[in-house]
């Protein structure tokens, strides 16, 4: 098995079943992508109820065996010329005034509709792959939450309401615990992918977007593969009333959202088209008058630019290179720009000169595009975006 089984195969299967049906279901009663009654009920949880079950932290500053910290040294593999070693930057000190709140995608293979709160190898692997490279910029907090499992998504692909509400309530409880006991007024970077992005969309929409104080403390929100929507041609509205899309390097209090494809998503695509696929998990059912957001991590102001992909070596597209570092970096291998056509909006990723280097593929077919690699294709760019926003942000 060439690529890491947990991060690729498990996530792939779970996402395939999660997004195999249209977002609109009889269990939902939402309009224009706004939260339904189940979400409102979840947000009505009292602080005592929210913290009744102690939060289990997958990543927490100072925790032993923290998968969101570790060796970040990378081998840089160009199309031509010698490979070079790039030492990993030091981790953010515990005194940092910036936190990253990370919510991981679907990885659970447990038998129930929702996962338990035990830390499994799958959660560790995906946190290491997606969140650890942010650790030099922030203290990373990642709660274990009762996400929908692969089996749940396979059994009930068209009715997600009950299990998704459990997942959200679990995340909401962890958020309230973190805010009450650990945040200490720190600025916050939100990071989520796929189901993680969907849960963060709910959280931001109901907890942060309506709260001016929390909006001021938001450095940026990375919501990859979650189908954030905006009114067609605009940068704010629909999913969020106040949090706009990022439109410039160093912009703060804004959202970076995208879904990556090598070409126009087909009409039955599960990402890049409003009201479909993962949209169900965040109660975004609107299909007209809105478009899926696309913010190019390599060029926040628009246009085309080269991506800066980082992969854990063991999870590199096959065949993984024989290097002695934990990470590999492939400069000038891909470029990206946002495109719109026929109701779809997506991050178009084009392959440049390969020089024999491995490239990503559409592992789940054209309706999925490069979804499994959304984060790692753009990871170096996203880290740079966060660094610029932190530098421009003031408490």
> Over 70: is that where the pLDDT of 1 sits?
no
pLDDT at residue 221 in the model: 98
> Over 50: is that where the pLDDT of 190 sits?
yes
CA torsion, ordered 30, 276, 221, 262, to nearest 10 deg: -170
pLDDT range class, residue 52, cuts 50, 70, 90? low
> Over 50: is that where the pLDDT of 3 sits?
no
pLDDT range class, residue 283, cuts 50, 70, 90? confident
What 8-state DSSP symbol labels residue 261? E
pLDDT range class, residue 47, cuts 50, 70, 90? very low
Q: What is the mean pLDDT of residues 80-96?
A: 92
Query: C-alpha angle with apex 158: 340 to 373, nearest 5 degrees?
Result: 45
Q: What is the mean pLDDT of residues 93-116?
A: 94
Contacts of 359 (CB under 8 A, 6+ apart): 317, 333, 351
9 vs 268 pLDDT, higher one? 268
The bridge status of strand 98-103 relative to strand 187-193 is parallel
Q: What is the mean pLDDT of residues 312-316?
A: 96
Residue 311 pairs in a beta bridge with 328
Contacts of 370 (CB under 8 A, 6+ apart): 260, 261, 262, 349, 360, 362, 377
Say how far residue 46 (Cα) sits from the centre of its chain: 27
pLDDT range class, residue 269, cuts 50, 70, 90? very high
> Over 80: is that where the pLDDT of 21 sits?
no
> Over 50: is that where the pLDDT of 45 sits?
no
Q: Express the helix, strand and coil content of the chain in percent, nearest 5 each.
A: 30, 20, 50
Which element (helix H / strand E) includes 13?
A: helix 11-18
> Over 90: is that where the pLDDT of 7 sits?
no
pLDDT at residue 157 in the model: 63
> Over 70: is that where the pLDDT of 192 sits?
yes
203 vs 12 pLDDT, higher one? 203
Say how far residue 215 (Cα) sits from the centre of its chain: 19
Residue (of 14, 46, 345) closest to 160 by Cα position: 14
Q: Are 144 and 15 in contact (CB under 8 A)?
A: no
The region, left, alpha or beta by phi > 0 then psi within -120 to 50, assigned to residue 44 is alpha
Mean pLDDT of the chain: 87
The region, left, alpha or beta by phi > 0 then psi within -120 to 50, assigned to residue 332 is left
Residue (of 234, 187, 194, 176) closest to 213 by Cα position: 187
Q: What is the mean pLDDT of residues 3-8?
A: 40
Q: Are 320 and 327 in contact (CB under 8 A)?
A: no
Tell me how far apart the alpha carbons of residues 210 and 366 are, in angstroms, rounded to a whole number.
Answer: 37
Lowest-confidence region among 218-222, 277-281, 312-316, 383-387? 277-281
> Over 70: is that where the pLDDT of 48 sits?
no
Q: What is the pLDDT of residues 287-305, one digit of tens each?
A: 899 999 999 999 999 999 9
Residue (of 177, 160, 207) closest to 56 by Cα position: 177
Tell me how far apart the alpha carbons of residues 306 and 28 are, in angstroms, rounded to a whole number.
Answer: 40
**Which sign does the torsion angle of CA 26, 366, 328, 120 carry?**
positive
pLDDT range class, residue 158, cuts 50, 70, 90? low
> Over 50: is that where the pLDDT of 2 sits?
no
């Amino acid at each position: 098995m060439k690529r890491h089984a947990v991060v690729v195969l498990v996530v792939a299967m779970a996402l395939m079943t999660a997004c195999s049906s249209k977002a609109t279901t009889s269990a939902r009663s939402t309009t224009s992508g706004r939260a339904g009654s189940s979400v409102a009920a979840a947000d009505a949880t009292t602080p005592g109820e929210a913290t009744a079950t102690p939060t289990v932290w997958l990543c927490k500053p100072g925790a032993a065996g923290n998968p969101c910290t570790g060796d970040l040294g990378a081998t840089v593999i160009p199309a031509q010329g010698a490979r070079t070693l790039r030492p990993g930057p030091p981790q953010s000190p515990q005194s940092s005034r910036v936190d990253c709140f990370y919510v991981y995608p679907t990885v659970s293979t447990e038998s129930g509709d929702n996962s338990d709160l035990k830390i499994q190898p799958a959660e560790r692997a995906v946190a290491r792959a997606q969140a650890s490279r942010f650790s030099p910029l922030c203290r990373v907090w990642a709660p274990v939450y009762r996400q929908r499992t692969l089996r749940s998504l396979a059994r009930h692909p068209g009715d997600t309401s009950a299990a998704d509400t459990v997942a959200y309530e679990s995340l909401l409880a962890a958020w309230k615990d973190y805010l009450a006991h650990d945040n200490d007024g720190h600025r916050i970077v939100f990071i989520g992918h796929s189901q993680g992005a969907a849960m963060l969309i709910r959280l931001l929409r109901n907890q942060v977007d309506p709260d001016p104080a929390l909006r001021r403390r938001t450095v940026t929100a990375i919501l990859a593969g979650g189908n954030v929507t905006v009114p067609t041609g605009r940068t704010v509205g629909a999913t969020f009333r106040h949090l706009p899309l990022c439109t410039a390097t160093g912009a703060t209090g804004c959202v970076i959202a995208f879904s990556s494809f090598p070409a126009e998503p087909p009409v039955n695509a599960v990402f890049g088209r409003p009201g479909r696929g993962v949209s169900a998990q965040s109660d975004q059912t609107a299909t007209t008058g809105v478009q899926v957001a696309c913010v190019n991590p390599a060029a926040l102001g628009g246009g085309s630019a080269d991506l800066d992909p980082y992969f854990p070596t063991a999870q590199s597209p096959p065949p993984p290179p024989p290097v002695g570092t934990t990470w590999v970096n492939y400069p000038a291998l891909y470029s990206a720009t946002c495109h719109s056509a026929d109701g779809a909006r997506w991050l178009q990723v084009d392959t440049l000169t390969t020089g024999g280097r491995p490239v990503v593929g559409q592992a789940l077919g054209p309706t999925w595009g490069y979804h499994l690699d959304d984060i790692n294709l753009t990871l170096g760019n996203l880290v740079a975006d966060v660094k610029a926003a932190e530098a421009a942000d003031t408490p």
